[in-house]
Amino acid sequence: MASTGVPRTDPHASVLVVGASAAGVATAEALRRHGHVGRLTLLDGETEDPYDRPPLSKQYLAGQIGADAMVLRSTEQLAGLDAEFVLGDRAVALDVATRTVTTTSGTTRAADHVVIATGVTPRAIPGVGLDGVHVLRTRADADRLRAGLQTLQGPLLVLGNGVLGSEVAQTAASLGVDVTLAGSIRAPMSGQLGGFGSQFLAAQHEAAGIRLLGGVRAARVRGRNGRADTVEFVDGPSRAADVVVVAVGSRPTTGWLEASGLEVTDGVDCDAFGAAAPGVWAVGDVARFHHVGMGRSMRLENRTNATEMAQVVAGNVLGRRVPYTPVPYFWTDQHGTRVQVFGQMTSADRVTVVDGHPEDGRFVAVAERAGEAVGVLGWGMPKQARIASMRLRPRYVPVAASAAPALSALSALSAAPAAPAVSAPESPAPVG
């Protein structure tokens, strides 16, 4: 029977989590940790037990780890959640008024609270579907790409020079593959790293033998006899291609919500607490939430956000009313180095190296705009980067939110005196 009326906030309320990847599992764990004892269901279209996605483009693609190293939680840990996992049955519709989800099998499931954790879907271009053309979202995608790299006779063309494309390119290069990385932005990952960091990464890519082709947009992949043959660009000459990876971005998985009545603007629109409607919530990559510290809505696509937002929303499902006010953060492992960004590195008018030295391949840089710290870039110095990021908290975390129970991995760190500064000019970098 469908739920009606005002959603309950007691620990016995039923909760349906749509999406059983990182954000969904983290929400379920946080609900139990916060004292939820009611019925808990996780629904997902994939048939496999939940697994971690970041290694798909790195260690797993390179063959350094197997599938068993990517499981999000052990069988025992999942069983300890006392939750029902409904796998291989994707959500296709949501009735917001009754908080009822319909699935591909025609089954309807209702709950006092529905948490949307459906993540993102890779963007495609014409020609995806030809043999030799790959996207990378699931473990099956990574398996197909790895098999393609092992039998590759010619060059690999990676379309999209953002985070995913950059990771795939450097992984393939480390395997001895001849790689060209092409994308609409001038330097790889400039939308995340800013001009200073993206130029540094570009130099590392080139040193690893990766050819860079920036400022070009792929139009389509042409095929011959059902297999990739040529990539056509909107603003450049065509290139021959035998194996192509399409990594031109992603879009929130919200198509199943079209008739729900929810506001969807590049993600499920939520308030500061993660609520999209009474009893309906969103977490992780799919959620566009109001950040009270920044005074605007935003959507974050990264593994850390999936986990941290889940902690806050789970508490709010049970009535805590704590706003989600993260310092934006993401990381990537490339060329044997952990690269971290806290805040925003783009649109800065000054970047200052405050620890380490770029010449040594290990440094921390602080981005400023009009004299205010807006971002921190860490290259091979994780602890020092986290310490430097504490100076960003006044910008992102309001005093009222700071007084709330600490929910971020940064909260255990205290600020340390900055090292002598070495200035580096920052050039504006487009976001693409």
Residue-wise pLDDT for 117-142, tens only, equals: 999 999 999 999 999 999 999 999 99
**Domain over 336-424 is classified CATH 3.30.390.30:** yes
15-121+251-317: CATH, from 3.30.2130.10, 3.40.190.10, 3.50.50.60, 3.40.50.300: 3.50.50.60
User: Strand pairing of 40-44 and 84-87?
Assistant: parallel
The structure's pTM equals: 0.89
Q: Where in the chain is the domain with CATH 3.30.390.30?
A: 336-424
Beta carbons of 366 and 376 less than 8 angstroms apart: yes
What pLDDT does residue 400 have?
55
Residues in the chain: 432
Q: What CATH code is assigned to 124-248?
A: 3.50.50.60
Predicted local confidence at residue 272, as pLDDT:
97
User: Please, where in the chain does CATH 3.50.50.60 lie?
Assistant: 15-121+251-317, 124-248
Helix (H, G, I), strand (E, B) or coil at 223: strand
Residue 302: closest CA among 49, 51, 45, 54: 54
Residues of the chain with pLDDT under 50: 1-6, 402-432
What is the per-residue pLDDT for 153?
81
How high is the pLDDT of residue 417?
A: 31
Residue 60: closest CA among 129, 131, 124, 137 = 137
pLDDT at 285: 97
